[in-house]
Each structure stands twice: as structure tokens, then as C-alpha cells.
Chain A
Amino acid sequence: MPALLRMPKLSLTMKTGTVVRWYKREGETVEKGEPIVEVLSEKVTCDVEAPASGVLRKIVAKEGEEIPVNGILAVITMPDEPLPEIEEIEKAVTVEFKKPVEKRILASPAAKRLAREYGIDLSQVVGSGPEGRIVEADVRRFIEEKVGYAPKIREAIPLVGIRKMTAEKVSLSKKTAPHCTITMKVDMNEATKLKEKLGVSYTEIIVKAVALALKEHPIMNSSLKNDKIEVYEDVNIGVAVATGEGLVVPVVKNADRKNLNQLSSEIKMLVEKARTGKLEKGDVSGGTFTITNLGMYGVEAFTPIINPPETAILGVGKIEEIPIVVNGEVKIRPVTVLSLSFDHRVIDGAPAAEFLGKIKEFLEKPSRLEN
């Protein structure tokens, strides 16, 4: 029965080993337990001993070769035994081959719990309890020494669904589009009157204002694709909505061609669908510009991340009554701050500022929005 010399597992984490040198040549006699080859793994060298006495009939792994753990290094046979095919030996031997029994790590349930919470491999921890049992204090010491004061993990939430999509989108955006954010104060006095007159929301008024401003500054309504800037004809405005599941952005198609009442009912319908998880693919695709509003959370100004592959995004802050100077007089007016993030590859600061200024103008003199 031929014996196989295999790559041993020299540590818990070892996956492969490299043959450093053979002490014996093919055809030489070997004694069981005699070191016949030196192997290297994870910077540690180690002699591998003959599993049986006989003749080193075939060296399978040459010096310098990297072999997976348990891979065959050589075949030892009796002197007069013919050399079978390796596959045949494998088949014959695997039946007998016993999985090495891993030594069980003694650890108290409390130690195991703590190790689980901090993701600690107990094989790395030295136990101080009876019979070398790892106790809670050992794990705690290990954490302090090796891991530092790592925060305790309460739970691990898998990154799936909307959360995963958002994560991918915002990192793509931040990685590819150099962001620049500019802000502008807007007196919402007239817009407020319009809101009350028509019974619409600020968001709806702002969508309308942005749509008209985009018509006048089409470069903001574009995407950078490879070496081309595609400027869109359609003005499709996404409105970011926070839901229990995460952030979704339903899109109002052709916002520039709809009057405020139409916009209002369409946006209300989209928001409702978003909150109840009923948005369909068509509701969330085709956007060319996005508006995000954190005003209801008391945020004054912020640096929104562009929704790729769009060129810009408008962040809306809270509307707050503050004293401002109007025609040389101090007046209390509802004022908001608009934050525009734009892709500096597509557009520079000055034209972006003009675009933002246009939005401000529409909002402060909203008569054109009524049509």
C-alpha cells in the first residue's frame, strides 16, 4: 500500500505551504518519522516527516512550489511495489484518511459570548482558568491589549435593499463627481403667499421654480458620460423622500411643462407611493435633477450629494422667520437657505451661481410660477 506525503496544516489559518527543499531524492530509502522535506508557511519553516517506511518513489511537489494544505508532496512505496497512478492512490487512501481532530478550545460560555460580540478568534486568546480554560477576563484583556478599546457591537445589520443601493450610489457620486456646494438665502415671503393662495406646499413651489430655472440654464440639466456632456431636453425632477426602509427618489417627469396644481397632485401621489412602498420602476427612473429637503428636520444648510449621473442637486433648508433688510427697512421675513451641489467637471462656480440666483429670483417673485 503506497503512502502519501501531504502538505501539513501548520497553523489554524494556514491555507498553502511552499516546498523549501527535499532532504531525500527519488529512489532513496526513508524511515517512518524521518524528516524528508522542509516546507514554509506564513514565514515559518517546518520539517515534514515520512508517514511510512519504504522508498521515496515519486516527488510530486518540486522545490519552490506552493501546495495547498493536504495536497500531495510525494509518494512512498515498498521497494518492490509498482508506482500506481496518483489518482488511484488518492482513491484508495482517502478511505483511510482520517480528518485530524482539532483540539477543542476550552472557554467559558461568558468568554465565548464576549468573543462573539467582538469578533475575536478564541484560538488567539490564552486561558487563565482551570485546565487553561479561557474565561471572560482573558477575552477582555485580549481585547484591551490587541484590539484596543474597540466599541462593543450590538448587532450586525446586513447591507441589503435600499440601504445597499444608496451606499453604492453615494460612494459612486463622491468618487467620480468633484462636488462643490454653494448656498444662497431666499426670502420666501411671496412664495408663502402663493403657497397659501393655491394650497400647495413649499416643495411643490420649489420644484416648479427649479424646473423653470433649468429651462434657462440647460447645462445644469445634464449628465457627464465618458467624454461627452449630454444635455437633456426633458426636465425630470427627483424629489428625495425618507421612508422607514431608507431614501427613495421618485421623479416628476416634464416638471417644466406642468402647472403648480398638476405638480402638486403628482408629487403628493408619488410621496404617498414612496411612504407605502408602492413605487414602481417608472416612478423612480429618468431623473435629470434632484431636490432634497431637510428643512422639516430643522437643518439650515447642508452639502447634498449629487444623485448620479445627474450634474447637480438642490438642498432645501428650513424656512425660518428672521429679520432682514428689505428696501432699507428691517422686516421679519420667512427665509430659507438653498444649497446647490454641482459636478465641477461639468460646470464652474459662476454659472452655477447664476442658476441658483435664478431659482432665488423665481421664488422671491413667484408670479411666473403660477402659470
Chain B
Amino acid sequence: MREISYRDALREALREEMIRDPTVFLIGEDIGRYWGGAFKVTKGLAEEFGDERVRDTPISENAIIGVAVGAAITGMRPVAEIMFGDLTALAMDQIANQAAKIRYMFGGQAKVPLVIRTPFGGGVNIAAHHSQSLEAWFMHVPGLQVVVASTPYDAKGLLKTAIRNDNPVVFCEHKLLYPLTGHVPEEEYTIPFGVADVKREGTDVTVVATLYMVHKALAAAETLAKEGISVEVVDPRTLVPLDKETITESVRKTGRVVIVTEDCKTAGVSAELAALIAEEALDYLDAPIKRVTTFDVPIPFSPPLENFVIPDEKRIIKAIKEII
């Protein structure tokens, strides 16, 4: 079985979709032939498809998304890259007020087939302006779809679906995932939105985790297995639409749930997941819902500080043991 990196899986998805559909084009800062993207996801694509379809831009996040919106409503399928997730703040009007609302506001006249790729997350010591996890912002805007791909396999399948999808999609990546390798088939496949993946089966407690936290949760599950605690790890894969069934089904089975996300706690992804479980599976809970998230602070620079605020395996294990 072929193993490739998350980064290469994303590039394969982009490349295959660009070959398949001439209306697909890439737009973003330093994604072209000179740099190939800050995380090298688009490396080599400008050489193959030309500068017109792999378009370097000025440092103008709001216009990158605005231009992508304009192209999307007039027949193109842009894939915009915002170099760091934190910088989506600069483009928020175009994302939240334009891309998300155009279809609805105009009574369904328009389609906005736009993908916004952006890496979130900390762990690489680049401090508060390049490390935050903001998935919840986008979940809160009706009209957007939100993808959180945690493995190379998911990344490729979900990105292809996102590109073919007629809605604006915020495709959340994670910096630490880019070098991660995993099985990716040679043959064509896509992964539908709204289908969660049980990354590990277990019976004692459900851990719902996203992005890089999936891997920390899996490591915690492995450790706990040695102590006889059986952990089920559920990865929603898309936050909008959300596979409520798989999540609540797992909680009904285990009666206990720990939600692990890298965004901060207040009004975060974990809050929405906890509310869902409380609303739809309360009678099956045998312990309070636990959340393990980044503390409610901006991401600090110094490694001991950053490591402290972002959830790690130990915190996940501690949370699980508190309710077992």
C-alpha cells in the first residue's frame, strides 16, 4: 500500500481536479513557482498548469477571497489559499458576508463553488498570529461548509469533494499534519461530507477529536489500552455538515465522552459538539461530558508556554480517567 504525506495528498487532489476540470484554479500568496506555498502544498503546480491557473497574489487576503467569490459566481471553481488560518480574519467580510450569504440573499440564484484552504493550529513556535485554531468561526456562519481533515487519506478525498461541491468550503488544515504520512490509494476516490470516521473502536469511552488532536487522542487510546481502558476515537471529518448520528451513536454505546479540539474552549467546536451530545444523547451519558481544549489564551511563543496551553496526550488521559 502506498504511503504519502498529507501535503502530497493535498497536492494530488489539487492536481487531479485541475486536470479533470479546467475551471479549477488556485489563488493565494506565494503559491506559485517561486515558493510553492508556505507549506509547499502547491509546489510544482505552477510549472505544470501555468501562472494563470496557479496565481500568486499581492498580500491582500480580503481581495483574494473577494476575487475568488467573483470568479466562483461567474463559472469558475477557485481554490484560495490563506497562508495562515489566523489571517482569515483579514478576509472575514468576504468569507462570512459575501461567500456565505450570496446564494441565500439572492434567493438561490447563485452558486459559490469556492474552497478556502488554510492551516490552523500551533506546535511550531510561531506565536499568536500564526497558530490559532478558528474552525468554530466558520461553523457559526450558515452558508459555509467546514472540513477538518486529519489524515492524508481524508485530506485527499475531502479536498476533491470540496472542489466539486457548489458551496463555499473552509478547508481547515493543520501545520503539524503536512509531513504526516499515511495510506492513500493510487486510484480515484472521494469522501462525502457529513460522514464521520471512527478512527479506533472502543467500548468504555468515546473521544471526539479533530485535526491534529485525532493523533493525540489515538496515542492516548493506545496508552490506555494497556491499562484495560477501551477508547473509541471518532473524527467528524466535516464540522458542517456534521455527522451527528455517528457521534451520538458512539456516545450511546460507551456512555462517556471526551471532546478534544485544538481551538479554545469558550464557544468553540467542543462547545457545539457537547451541546449536540447533551441534546441528543443525554439519557445515555454515564458521566459529565469532558472537554480538552486549548486554554482561553492567545497562543504563546516560548515552547514550554505553548506546550502547556495546547492539549497533549497527558491531558486527554487525565480527562478520560476522571470519568471512567
A residues apposed to B, CB below 8 Å: 108-113, 129-130, 133, 135-137
Contact = CB atoms under 8 A, between A and B. Distances in A.
A108 B284 CA distance: 9
Interface string B64-78: 000000000000000
A108 B322 contact: no
A88 B323 CA distance: 54
Contact of A113 (B283, B287, B323): B283
18 contacts: A108-B255, A108-B286, A108-B287, A109-B282, A109-B283, A109-B284, A109-B285, A109-B286, A110-B255, A110-B283, A110-B285, A110-B286, A112-B283, A113-B283, A130-B287, A130-B323, A135-B286, A136-B255
Contacts of A111: 286
Contacts of A133: 287
Tell me the dominant secondary structure on chain B's binding face.
Answer: helix
Interface string B258-293: 000000000000000000000000111111000000
Nearest to A112: B283
Given A110-B286, A135-B287, 14 more contacts: A108-B255, A108-B285, A108-B286, A109-B282, A109-B285, A109-B286, A110-B285, A111-B286, A113-B284, A129-B287, A130-B287, A136-B255, A136-B286, A137-B286
Contacts of B323: 130
A324 to B, nearest CB: 60
A133 B282 CA distance: 16
Contacts of B322: 130
Contacts of B285: 108-110
Contacts of A136: 255, 286
Contacts of A135: 286-287
> Which of B283, B322, B323 neighbours the largest number of chain A CB atoms within 10 Å of its CB?
B283
A286 to B, nearest CB: 52
Contacts of A110: 255, 283-286
A130 B287 CA distance: 9
A337 B323 CA distance: 65
A46 B255 CA distance: 42
A119 to B, nearest CB: 16
Interface in B272-324: 282-287, 322-323
A130 B324 CA distance: 9
A219 B284 CA distance: 63
Contacts of A112: 283
Contacts of B283: 109-110, 112-113
Contacts of B282: 109
A153 to B, nearest CB: 15
Contacts of A108: 255, 285-287
B49 to A, nearest CB: 55
Contacts of B287: 108, 129-130, 133, 135
Interface string B221-244: 000000000000000000000000
A309 B284 CA distance: 51
Nearest to A111: B286
A108 B255 CA distance: 10
A30 B322 CA distance: 50
A111 B284 CA distance: 8
